[in-house]
Amino acid sequence: MIYRLKRIYWQLLYRFVVKKSASNEHAKFNIHNTFIMPTKFGWSLIGVTLCLFVLGTNYQNNVILAVCYLLVSILLLAIFHNYFFFTQHEIKLESVDADFENRNLKLRGTIFSQGRYAGGELGLEYSREVFKIALSANANSPQTFQVKLPKYKRGIHKLPVIAVTATYGFGFFYCWSYIIHNKSLVVYPCIERSTAQLHNKTDKEMGSVDASSQLSTSDNLQGIRPYVNTDPIYHVSWKHVAKGQGLVTKDFVEKAGSSGWLKLSDYHHLDIERALKVICYQIQALGKSNATFGLDLGSTKILPNNGNKHLDECLYQLACYGIDTQDQKRTISDPQQS
C-alpha cells in the first residue's frame, strides 16, 4: 500500500517535473521552469529578522529595528538577484557515450552565461548528490564541466532528472530547475575474463575463419531478405533500393554457413548476466585482433563482420539483451531503483 502510494507520488512528481523542466539538453531557464525557495540559511535569517523585530520593538531600539529592516530588504533583493543570476545561464548537456557497467561515467556539459553577474556557483543535483560548479569570474565565457554519474548496471538507461541549482549572493535563496536528458545511456556488460571458456567451439572455429579469407563475393548470393538494423550496409541491395522496393539485404551462402559465431547458448550453464559478461570479453578480444565474427543471442543475430562499427553494434545488442527498451520508466531517483 505504502509502496503504491509512494509510486503514485513519484509519478505525479515526475509528471510535474517534466512539465516544468527545461526539458532538453540545451536548457534555458525562465520564469516558467524556475523555482525559488529560501534555503535553510535563508529560513534562519528570516527567523533572526523576526527575532530582531521583537527585540527591537520590546527594547524600543531603533538601531535594532533598522538592522532588522536592512535584513528584510537584503532578503527581498536576494530573491531577485538569485533569480536573475540563475536565469542568465544556459546549460547544454552532452550525450553520454556508451560505456561498460561499473565504470565511472562522466556527464559533460557547457554552461553559457551572459549578463550582469560574474562568478558564483551552480549546483547540479541528482540522486541525492550535489556537484558544485564554480563559475568563472568572466561573465561571458562559456565554461565546460564534468560531473560524476552514478554507476549503472548493464542496460539502456534514461539519465536521471538533473536539478540545476543556484544560491547566488549570500545563499539565502535556492533557485532551481530541472533538466531532463532526452538521450539514453547505453551500458554494456562489464567483461569477465574466463580462460576456461576460451577452449570452446567458438574459439576453435574462429581460427578457421581467420585462415580462410573472409571477403565474400557476390557470386555466392543465396537470396534476399528484408533489411534488419544489424546488417552491414554493404549487404544492402542498392538495385532494389533504387527501384523503390525498400531496403533489402543480400544473403550470402558463405557467410550464413560460416562458423565465426559467438553463441549465447554456449554459456547456458552460467547465469545470464555472467554469460553476457563472458561474451562481452570475447567480443572485445576478437575486436582487438580485428577478427571477423558474428553474434548469436538467440533472438537477435548479427552477421559476421569486423571493424569498430560492428563491435559497437554487438556491444549494443549485449546491452539491450533481455531488456524491453519501451518499458524503461524514468523516475526521479532513478539509479537506486534500476
Partner 1 sequence: MMKLEKVQFTTVCYMSALTFAFILFPLMTHLMLWVIILGFCSVAVCIVRASVAMPELRNITINLFSTFCLVILLLFYQDYGLLSSMINLLVVACSLKFIMMRTAADFHLVSIVFMFLIAAGFIYNQSIFFAIYYGCAFFFVFVVTFLINKGHMTFSKSTLQTGKLLLQAVPIALLIFLVAPRLPPFWQVPKEESTQTGLSEALTPGDIANLARSADLAFRAEFFSDKPKPIERYWRAIVMDNFDGLTWSISEREKNTALLTEKNYSGARWEYLVNAEPSDSQWLYSLDVPQIAENRGEWPIFLNDNYQVFSTTVSDTRNIYLLNSYYEMPVSSERVDYSRYLQVPQSGNILTRQYIEAMNFEGLSTQQIISKIAEIFTKNPFKYTLKPPLMPVDPVDEFLFIHQRGFCSHYASAMAYMLRLAGVPSRLVTGYQGGEDQAKSIITVRQYDAHAWVEAKDRELGWIRFDPTALVAPNRMLAGLFDSLNESEKELIDESKLMRQLMELGLIKSMEDGFVMLNHNWSQMVLGYDQNSQLEIVQKLFGQANIKNLVTFLLVAFVGIAFYLVTSFLPWRKWFSTKPVSPEMILLELLQKKGFTRHKHETFSQFLNRITPQFDSSLVASLNEFEQQFYATRYSGNQDEKPLKEALNKCIKALSSKHSSSHKPTNPIVE
Partner 2 sequence: MKMRADISNCVEQISHLVKGKKTEIELSLICLLAGGHLLLEDLPGMGKTTLSQALSKVFDLEYARIQFTSDLLPADMLGVNIYDSNQNSFSFHAGPIFNQLVLADEINRASPKTQSALLEAMAEKQVSIDGKTHELPECFFVIASQNPLDQSGTHPLPESQLDRFLMQLSLGFPDKASEKAMLLNQQELTSVRSVIDVAELQLLQQQVKNILVSDNVINYLLSLVELTRSSNEFPNALSPRATKAIYRAAQAAAFVQGRNYVTPEDVQFVLPAVAEHRIKGQLLNKTSSSYSEQLLSQVDPLAA
Residue 168 site contact among partner 2, partner 1, none (CB < 5 to 8 Å, cut-off depends on kind): partner 1
Task: Tell me: does residue 36 bind partner 1 (CB under 8 A).
Answer: no
Residue 183 beta carbon to partner 1: minimum distance, rounded to whole angstroms: 24
Q: Which of 22, 64, 187, 280 binds partner 1 (CB under 8 A)?
A: 64
Closest to 298 (Cα-Cα) out of 279, 326, 325: 279
Bridge partner list, 184: 158
Q: Which of 7, 16, 19, 80 binds partner 1 (CB under 8 A)?
A: 80
Q: Which of 18, 76, 253, 256 binds partner 1 (CB under 8 A)?
A: 76
Alpha-carbon gap, residue 125 to 161, rounded angstroms: 9
Residue 238 site contact among partner 2, partner 1, none (CB < 5 to 8 Å, cut-off depends on kind): partner 2
Residue 232 beta carbon to partner 2: minimum distance, rounded to whole angstroms: 9
- Is residue 188 left, alpha or beta, with left meaning phi > 0 and alpha meaning psi from -120 to 50? beta
Task: Tell me: does residue 236 bind partner 2 (CB under 8 A).
Answer: yes
Q: Which of 234, 246, 299, 337 binds partner 2 (CB under 8 A)?
A: 234
Q: Mask of contacts with partner 2, 156-195, x by CB under 8 A? A: ----------------------------------------
Residue 22 beta carbon to partner 2: minimum distance, rounded to whole angstroms: 18
Residue 235 CB partners (closer than 8 Å, separation 6+)? 249, 250, 251, 252, 303
Alpha-carbon gap, residue 308 to 174, rounded angstroms: 46
DSSP string, 119-180: S-EEEEEETTEEEEEEPPSSTTS-EEEEEEPPP--SEEEEPPPEEEEE--TTS-EEEEEEE-
Alpha-carbon gap, residue 50 to 72, rounded angstroms: 9
Task: Tell me: does residue 84 bind partner 1 (CB under 8 A).
Answer: yes
Q: Mask of contacts with partner 2, 239-258, x by CB under 8 A? A: x-xx----------------
Longest C-alpha distance within the chain, in Å?
Answer: 103
Extended beta strands in 210-306, E state:
221-226, 248-252, 261-263, 293-296, 301-305
By 3-state DSSP, what share of the chain in percent is helix, strand and coil, each rounded to 5? 40, 25, 35
Task: Tell me: does residue 90 bind partner 1 (CB under 8 A).
Answer: no
Q: Which is nearer to partner 2, 125 or 231 (CB)?
A: 231
Residue pointed to by grid coordinates 527545461: 22
Other CB atoms within 10 Å distance of the CB of residue 49: 17
Task: Tell me: does residue 94 bind partner 2 (CB under 8 A).
Answer: yes
Q: Which of 50, 66, 233, 256 binds partner 1 (CB under 8 A)?
A: 66
Residue 16 site contact among partner 2, partner 1, none (CB < 5 to 8 Å, cut-off depends on kind): none
- For 131-140, the CB contacts below 8 A with 24+ separation are 135/111, 139/113, 139/114, 139/115, 140/113, 140/114
Task: Tell me: does residue 30 bind partner 1 (CB under 8 A).
Answer: no
Q: Which is nearer to partner 1, 13 or 74 (CB)?
A: 74
Q: Which residues bind partner 1 (CB under 8 A)?
A: 40-41, 44-45, 48, 51-52, 54-74, 76-78, 80-81, 84, 116, 118-121, 130, 132, 134-137, 167-171
